[in-house]
């Protein structure tokens, strides 16, 4: 009787917990926290479609499949094309200058060698930032020798209109970069017409974005402004945590007890290993907690069309021209908008479209993320290991049985 009572109590608690988890997940698309503003200019445009905020276009490294990436030319061209936000990257030279550059090494995009962090600004400036760019698979290199340089952070700010909305990724786990970046953002807000909430900062690593938020919080308090002057996206660790809890249907419970206060936005791939994030399950959960969802890097028409069937907040693309055209076909952007050719900011007077696209490999930096990306391989390995152990045990049992039979036969003979 005692055992039966214990079982009933356990079943009762399991039923209560299961019911609570089910109820919490049912609330995901019913009681959403209002999404925090990440780009004030775009927010105040009041761009609404069918009662929902329209998604925005973030030009990945400017317009890197159209022009040499992370250059002033690429940034200006992306704005001409119709991108809402410039997405870019920041690194630090050996002499402490912040420059706009994606890769650790300069070899893929320039005529130089070595890592950015091992070069001085003067050495970096001597390189041709457009040296490797080819729109026709290496037949021609139209921007070589045109004087296109790797820009500094300051040059980027000075070259673009002060109301340009910018998404900056800190590439290394470097607190000094975060500190220097914040100082320049603060300088821009105080000495130009750049307004708060015009810049979003992201990083795969948590410490840089946490540090820059703390500096921004001090600025907010000191200047008595209503909201944090910048926005940040979730670092890889926070994204992984949210995804895992959401996959286990525990996100609504966990984040209700421990509210998300360290970021305003998820910037994620369409899929990470076997886990797809381009689903209502993930997007609804993010929206429930007031977080924006931007997907990277989306370059093809069918991918763009698929995402536009979901309540996403932004598309990060190497081909903002394609995204603009699909936005027009979905009535998100005015059909009257025309991409100018030649582009007014394109100093060569030509408009190159690459004949092929290069997929970028993204690797995880946290153990949990690495395990998640390889979970299908791990499961397959475990299954094979289990079967192998079973086979070995089967053989051992057969051998043991034979030995026992032989021993019994020998005893009978004796």
> Mean per-residue pLDDT for 382-398?
72
The arithmetic mean of pLDDT across residues 66-77, rounded, is 96
Predicted TM-score of the model (pTM): 0.85
Question: Could you tell me where the beta strands, DSSP code E, fall in 80-225?
Answer: 85-92, 98-100, 165-170, 199-202
Q: Which value, in Å, is the radius of gyration of the alpha carbons in the chain?
A: 27
Q: How far is 63 from 75, CA to CA, in rounded Å?
A: 7
Tokens describing residue 23:
């109820």
Run of H or E residues at 393: helix 375-413
Which pLDDT does position 51 carry in this prediction? 46
Nearest to 79 by CA among 120, 133, 38, 41: 41
Within 8 A by CB and 6+ apart from 387, the residues are: none
pLDDT for the residue numbered 56: 97
Average pLDDT over residues 243-253: 90
Give, to the nearest 10 degrees, the angle between helix 72-81 and helix 320-329: 10
Q: Please check the confidence at residue 327 and state whether its pLDDT lies above 60.
A: yes
Label residue 53 by pLDDT band (50, 70, 90): confident
Q: Parallel, antiparallel, or unpaired: how do β-strands 56-60 and 85-92 relate?
A: parallel
pLDDT value at 97 more than 80: yes
How far apart (Å, rounded) are the C-alpha atoms in residues 226 and 197? 11
Closest CA to 201 of 177, 221, 231, 171: 231
Whether 62 contacts 77, CB under 8 Å: yes
Main-chain phi, psi angles of 151, to 5 degrees? -80, 150
For residue 316, pLDDT over 80 is answered with yes
Spatial separation of the C-alpha atoms in residues 403 and 159, rounded to whole Å = 85
49 pLDDT more than 90: no
15 CB-contact burial (10 Å; exposed 0-12 / middle 13-18 / buried 19+):
exposed
Please give the helix or strand (H or E) that residue 387 lies within, else none: helix 375-413
Stretch 81-89: mean pLDDT: 97
Helix, strand, or coil here: 315? strand
Q: Does 413 score more than 50 pLDDT? A: yes
Closest by CA to 333, choosing from 320, 344, 343, 345, is 320
- For residue 53, the cross-strand partners are 48
What number is the average pLDDT over the span 219-230?
A: 96
Where exactly are the structural domains of the chain? Answer: 32-366, 374-414
32-366 belongs to CATH 3.20.20.190:
yes
What pairing do the DSSP bridges indicate for beta strands 199-202 and 231-232?
parallel
H-assigned helices in 59-195: 72-81, 121-125, 153-159, 175-191
> Is residue 372 over pLDDT 60?
yes
Q: Given this model, what pLDDT does residue 197 score? A: 97
What pLDDT score does 139 carry?
A: 87
Taking only the tens place, the pLDDT of each residue in 151-208 is 999 999 999 999 999 999 999 999 999 999 999 999 999 999 999 999 999 999 999 9
- What is the reported pLDDT for 46? 46
* DSSP 3-state percent helix, strand, coil across the chain (nearest 5): 45, 15, 45
Report which listed range, 126-135, 363-372, 387-396, is most confident.
126-135
Both tokens assigned to 210: 């946490």
Lowest mean pLDDT among 35-39, 96-100, 264-268: 35-39
- Separation of alpha carbons 113 and 128, rounded Å: 12
Average model confidence (pLDDT) across the chain: 87
Peptide bond into 197 cis (omega under 30): no
Q: Are the beta carbons of 306 and 403 closer than 8 angstroms?
A: no
Q: How many other CB atoms are there within 10 angstroms of residue 370's CB atom?
A: 14
pLDDT confidence of 382, banded at 50, 70, 90? Answer: low
How far is it, in rounded angstroms, from Cα 320 to Cα 316? 8
- On the question of pLDDT at 50 being above 50, the answer is no
**Residue scoring higher pLDDT (155 or 249):** 155
């Amino acid at each position: 009787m005692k055992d039966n009572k214990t079982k009933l109590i356990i079943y009762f608690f399991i039923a209560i917990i299961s019911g609570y988890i089910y109820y919490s997940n049912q609330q995901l698309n019913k009681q959403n926290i209002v999404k925090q503003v990440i780009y004030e200019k775009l927010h105040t445009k009041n761009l609404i479609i069918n009662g929902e905020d329209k998604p925005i276009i973030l030009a990945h490294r400017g317009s890197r499949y159209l022009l040499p990436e992370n250059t002033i030319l690429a940034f200006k061209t992306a704005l001409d094309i119709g991108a809402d936000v410039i997405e870019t990257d920041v690194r630090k030279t050996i002499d402490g200058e912040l420059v706009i550059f994606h890769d650790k090494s300069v070899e893929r995009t320039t005529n130089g060698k070595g890592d950015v962090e091992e070069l001085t600004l003067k050495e970096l400036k001597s390189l041709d930032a457009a040296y490797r760019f080819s729109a026709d698979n290496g037949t021609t290199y139209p921007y070589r020798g045109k004087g296109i340089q790797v820009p500094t952070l300051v040059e980027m700010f000075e070259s673009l209109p002060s109301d340009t909305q910018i998404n900056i990724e800190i590439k290394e786990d470097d607190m000094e970069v975060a500190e220097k970046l914040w100082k320049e953002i603060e300088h821009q807000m105080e000495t130009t017409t750049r307004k708060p909430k015009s810049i979003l900062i992201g990083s795969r690593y948590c410490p840089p974005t946490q540090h820059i938020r703390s500096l921004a919080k001090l600025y907010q308090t000191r200047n008595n402004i209503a909201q944090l002057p910048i926005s940040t996206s979730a670092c890889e660790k926070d994204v992984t945590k949210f995804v895992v809890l959401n996959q286990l249907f525990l996100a609504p419970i966990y984040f209700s007890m421990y509210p998300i206060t360290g970021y305003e936005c998820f910037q994620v791939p369409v899929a990470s290993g076997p886990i797809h994030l381009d689903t209502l399950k993930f997007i609804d959960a993010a929206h429930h907690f007031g977080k924006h969802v931007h997907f990277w890097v989306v370059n093809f028409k069918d991918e763009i069309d698929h995402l536009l069937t979901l309540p996403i907040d932004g598309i990060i693309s190497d081909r903002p021209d394609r995204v603009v055209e699909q936005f027009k076909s979905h009535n998100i952007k005015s059909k009257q908008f025309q991409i100018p050719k030649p582009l007014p900011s394109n100093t060569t007077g030509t408009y190159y479209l690459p004949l092929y696209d290069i997929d970028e490999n993204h690797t995880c930096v946290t153990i949990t993320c690495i395990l998640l990306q390889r979970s299908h391989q791990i499961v397959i390995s475990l299954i094979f290991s289990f079967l192998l152990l079973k086979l070995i045990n089967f053989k051992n049992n057969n051998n043991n049985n034979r030995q026992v039979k032989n021993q019994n036969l020998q005893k009978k003979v004796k």
